[in-house]
Structure formats: C-alpha cells, structure tokens
Structure 1
Amino acid sequence: MDTPVVLSHTSAYLVLHTHNRQAVVHNALTNPVDPYGISESGTHARNIAARIRVFLGECGVNLENEMEIDIAVPTSLDRTSSAFFKSHVVGTSCSSSELVHIAPGLFAVGGALNFIQAATWMEPLELIEYGYELCGRYELNLTEARGGYRDRRPLTSRQQIHAALANHPHMPGAKRAHHALAFVRDGSRSPMETALALAIVLPKAKGGLGYRHIVLNHRILIPQELKATIRSDYLEVDIFAPHRNVGVEYDGDAHSELKRRTHDADRLAILGMLGVSMRTITASHFMHQLDFHRAMNSVAALLRLKLPTARDYQLAQNDLRIALIRGWKSHND
C-alpha cells in the first residue's frame, strides 16, 4: 500500500476530537526517527493499518478491532482492496491547505473537508452544531457522556468551508453541507452559545426565529468619551445583530459572584449608552418550555420580528429547545 495515507470521515472526526493529539503529533513530526513506521515503503496494508492504530491509540482514539480505518482517495482507481481500510473517493486531489499532517506518511482531512464528509452521516441539526464547533473556540469531549467540552482555536471557518465546497462540488455530502453552512457562524465559545445562536438563526418552521444577520463575539470599541467608565478598550457581545443594534448573551452562572455581577452591570450600562439593546438568556430559560418561549419572544421583539402565533410553531420551538439541550452536562453550565 502506498503512502501517504489520508484519514477521512469518522476516523478524521475522532482524531480532530482527541485531547492529546497535539503532543503526539508534535512528537511524531519532530522525532528524527519515524516512531510509527507508517511511511516505510513496501509495507503491507495490514501492517500500515496496525501502525496507524498505534498512533491513534496514543492520541486517545481506540478503534474497535473490526472497525475499518476511513481514508480519502482521489479517484475510484485509487481505492484499496484491503479489508483494514475503507476508501472514500474525494473526486479531486486535496490541496495541502485542506489536510493536516499528523505523522510521517499520515495526514487527516482538515475541518472544512470533514464538515462536508460529516453530512453523509450526521442529522441536519447535528451537522450545523458541528459547523459551529469547527469554526468556534471549543471542541466536544467525546470521552464524556454528557456535555463536556474544552477550549481550543478554530479548526476552520465559514470562508474555508465555502472554498472547500467550491473545490469539491461533487463530494458526497456537499449539497447537505452547503445547506447547513448557511446557518453556521464563526466564533462560538461553547455549546450553550451555539444553542442560543441556533435558536435565533434556524427557520421558523424548525422552531427558530429565522433571523440570520448575526455575528458571534462581536467587539464593540469604546469611544474616547466613555473610556473613563471602563478598563477595557472594547466590549464583546456573545451574539450581535448589527442591522438592529441588538445583543443577546448567554449566562450559565446560577449564582454569579458579586464582582462578576458588578462588571456585568457596568457593561450593560455602557452598551446601553452606545445604543445597543441587550437581552440575557440563562440556562434556566432553556430548561423550561414557557420560560424559553417568553425569552425568545423578547429577543424577537428587539429584532422587530413577527413570530407565528399558531400552536404548531410553539411545538416546533419546544422540539428545538429539547434538541439543543440534549447533550448539556448540567442545568448550571
């Protein structure tokens, strides 16, 4: 089997979620001696697969013995007949910017391509959430049963995913990925912030507000005349609607410290002076149907949106609420 090997689909998804990958990858690429031997020429596919499994295991990915390793190949002629690998035809060659080098002779598709590939197995809402994760500053901890996540730099962006879709328009999943990307925004810092954004941008038919003109963690500069009122040169708003000058924030703290509450009060006062209308949504709003319904009605009022009054919309909104919080670790996150 020829190398390099490019991990894709589920195998790449698992690699992109391993907490220990950076240290393992750094060691693999800087070690003067190839620690895994994946790149050795003339190696049988069985042995390459075994060596890749060793690498993945050190990263924290434990593939079941019968589980094939997903790999990307340019054309159907490049498929391998090995029972240890499952070949996925990309259709065109991947550029170096679309891949992540993880070990000698071993790459993984980057976040943009993996988003497209994920459209072949993820449900629509799950795919959109994955887009927020890839383009955001957090990643889910797959080893925790419910709601664990950790901070990290964005793995891709909406712009890069758009470019990948343009480069690979016929890749399986491209059409669904293109539709999902319309609801993805860059810069989310947590699954809860993502949930709030989705409650705003998703169509009314799906229980959202149907308002797409938002940016996440938008910085508002403090003008000179107000700099004496706050220490920072700017304020960040979780979700900002620039066309309406409206901000929406998620607050998961059940009992904030006095110092934090004081800071938040000062912040809201200054944003008010700047003409920004603010609404804070808490974890408790998400936990109860009526509270969530009223909270989203208030956001809609600030955005000057008219929502359906039919029972079907309220049912769809509640279904969305339940779906958005399905993986939350606790009510106080």
Structure 2
Amino acid sequence: MSKIALFGPTALELFGHTVHAPLQRRAITSERAAEFTPSKRVLDHVHSTFPFLSRPAHITVFDRKHRRQKYARCHLGTPALLNFDFLHVGDGILAPPPEVALVQAMRGRSVIQAAAQGSALCASYSLHADSPTIIQREPIATRASLEMVTRSCSSIPGCKTVRNALPWILPHAASPREIALGLVLFLPVRLGGYGLPRPTLNFPIPTGKHPGNLADRRYYVADLCWPHAHLIVEYDSDAFHLTSDQHYHDIVKRTTLESMGYHVITVSRRQLNDPSEMDKVAACIAKALQKEWRFRVRDFPTRQTQLWTILGLAPNR
C-alpha cells in the first residue's frame, strides 16, 4: 500500500484527538517523496483508522500530477516541508509536526483562528473521538516551538498569520471554552476582544497553612488568573449539572481562595455566549485590574460578533 502524508486541517483535527504525541519520526526525503501516492484505497485506510476525521481529507502530495483527486484535497508539498521530520501516526500514515500543521492550516485564515488553534495545540486537553468528553494530556506544542517553526517555514503559506498570532496564544487551557473565554478577554479591541492584560490559564495556587483554612486540596487550579492582582476568573459551564460533591468542592475552593486574598469572579456558559453579558463581566474584571475601560473602535459590536462567531460562541446581538 502507498504511504500518505496528512496536511494542515486534517492533521490538526487528528492532533485535537491525540492523547499522546507520536514519538516515532520519519524524514521524507526527495527520494522517498515518490512513495506518497494518493489513491482511494489508501484514503479509505486513513478514514478506517481515524473515522472521526472530516471528509474529504487534506493530504500532501509531492508531485503536481497527483494534485487532482476525487477523494481528497491535495496540497503540493513545498521544499521547506522536507526539512521537518514527519510523525508516524498510523500504518503508512504520516503527519507533519503540530506546529507545521498549524501553519499549513492557517492559509487564508485570520489571526483569531490562528490564536485559537495555536492555543489548542498548547493546551492540556484533547477531545474524545466518539463523545464530547475532554481528556487530559500534556501540551503537544508550545509558544516557543511555534515561534521557532515560523522562523524556518516562511515559504509555507499561513506562516505570517501564525507569526502574527503568537502574542495572543494562551497555553495550558483545560477546555475549548477556557480558550474562548481567555481570548475574548485578552484579544485587542480591534479584533473584537476586551484588550485586558494576559491571563495565566490553569494557574496552581498552594493553599498552605493559615487560620481558618477550609481547603480540601493541597492546591487549587484557577481557570484564569492574574496573580499580581490576586484576581481569578472561574468558568462555570453548567452549574445545575454539578453533583453535590462537586458543588461542595467549588464552594470550599472559592471560600478558601477568597480567604487567601483572591477576588474570584465566576463566568457562566450563558454569560460567555452573550456579548452584552460579557461586557458587564469584562468591566468588572477591568475594574479589579485597575485597567482603563474605553473602546476607541466605532464598529466594536460588529468586530465583537465576528469574534464570537469564529470562536464558536453564540452571540445574541
């Protein structure tokens, strides 16, 4: 069977469901490039191995005559691509490194999309292939590794977009909604965000020993935190779905953190979906951070709606 190399969007989709980053690497030399010949059989093999991948799959070809395919979106590999070791993700199936896949996928995309996708690669979760369940994992990329790749693949379309998105990437998110909340608060006003200072996602806070300590853990993890301001923002996805134990833990966590001098603000799923509600939340956060709260962009509501749409939120304006 011929070998196949996944490309940008399909590789990113695969990495989004990867619990462990593949360790086995293989260089695709100019001599070996001829082995990567797409066919219906090999594409069926890809989708049987990874049935959650969207169709048609995006794949890399190294010969112009292989670009026209009925069963896949084929992209001609640039010479710069041969400088990277591909990851062995399945029998005869290779994928570019996550950082390269991001660059490939961002051709014609926006800085917002690059920041969101880049944050997902640097996150500490993956998505279950058959359910909405979130699985914890180690990040498969870092802002530093993304920056390094943008220096060496400037000839690959999408590189400039990723480079421009680097300042806005938020690592260590534990869910897609945390990425969305972080970007909504952090992205500049010109991109529809609130332009607040960068938060640290999933910031560990040791509980220590102090009078009246109610903590049931040695440390708590704050969803979004501004340590210098002792400010925490917690995302509460669906409070009415919590078990009694989870509800008790959340109460103890908040009480403990507040007793340690932290100001805790909770954002609900409904608030995050509604820009008008998030305006109020952001104003409260800005006040706590002693940040000037002023918009100098006339069409901010339009930009805000665009941001919400790109992030998969549900604007009510």
Query: Please, what TM-score do these two structures have when normalized by structure 2?
Result: 0.78
Q: CA deviation at 1:242?
A: 2.5
How many residues are aligned here?
Answer: 300
Structure 2 SS opposite 1:312? coil
Alignment partner, residue 265 of structure 2: 279
Deviation, structure 1 residue 239: 0.6
Q: Is the 1:213–1:242 contact (alpha carbons within 8 Å) kept by the matching residues of 2? A: no
| Paired amino acid for 1:87 | L
1:16 aligns with 2:7: no
- Partner in structure 2 of residue 33 of structure 1: none
Q: Which residue of 2 is the match for residue 270 of structure 1?
A: 256
Change in 2 beyond 3 A, CA 1:110/1:166: same
Residue 279 of structure 1 and its aligned partner are, at CA, apart by 0.9
Unmatched 5+ stretches in structure 1: 30-39, 73-77
Q: Secondary structure at the match of 1:177?
A: helix
Q: 1:108 to 1:52 in 2, by over 3 A?
A: same
Identify the residue that residue 174 of structure 2 maps to in structure 1.
Answer: 189
Partner of 1:300: 286
Secondary structure of 2:294's partner?
coil
Supply the distance in 2 between the matched residues of 1:289 and 1:69 (Cα, whole angstroms).
Answer: 34
Give per-residue Cα distances to partners, 1:148-207, cap 9 Å, x unaligned.
463252332222212222332332211110111211111112222111101111002233
Conserved 8 A contact 2:186-2:195: yes
The answer as to 2:189 corresponding to 1:204 is: yes
> Which residue does the alignment assign to 1:37?
none
Of 98, 112, 137 in structure 1, the residue corresponding to residue 124 of structure 2 is 137
* Offset at residue 282 of structure 1 (A): 0.8
C-alpha separation between the residues in 2 aligned to 1:143 and 1:92? 32
SS in 1 for 2:174: coil
Instruction: Tell me how far 1:290 sits from its aligned partner.
Output: 3.2
Alignment of 1:319 onto 2:308: no
Q: Which residue of 1 aligns with 2:231?
A: 246
More displaced 10-residue stretch of structure 1: 152-161 or 211-220:
152-161
* Aligned mates of 1:279, 1:304 — CA distance in 2: 15
Question: Which residue in the other structure is 1:88 paired with?
Answer: 77
Q: Which runs of 4+ in 1 moved over 6 A?
A: 40-44, 141-144
**RMSD, aligned α-carbons:** 3.7
Query: Matched residues in 2 for 1:229 and 1:143: separation?
Result: 39
Distance 2:114 2:133 in 1: 17
Any idea what SS the aligned residue of 1:100 has?
strand
Choose which of 82, 94, 103 in structure 2 pairs with 1:107.
94
Give TM-score, length-normalised by structure 1. 0.75
What's the CA shift for 1:140? 5.5
SS of the aligned residue for 1:163 comes to helix
1:123 to 100, 103, 110: 110
Q: 1:5 to 1:284 in 2, by over 3 A?
A: closer
Q: Deviations over 1:63-99 (max 9, x none)?
A: 75xx575216xxxxx5342234432215253433xx3
1:70 to 54, 59, 70: 59
Distance of 1:132 and 1:261 partners within structure 2: 29
Residue of structure 1 in register with 2:200 after alignment: 215
Unaligned runs of 5+ in 2: 25-31
Query: Is residue 162 of structure 1 aligned with residue 147 of structure 2?
Result: yes
Q: Matched residues in 1 for 2:186 and 2:79: separation? A: 31
Q: CA deviation at 1:236?
A: 0.3
Name the residue aligned to 2:29: none
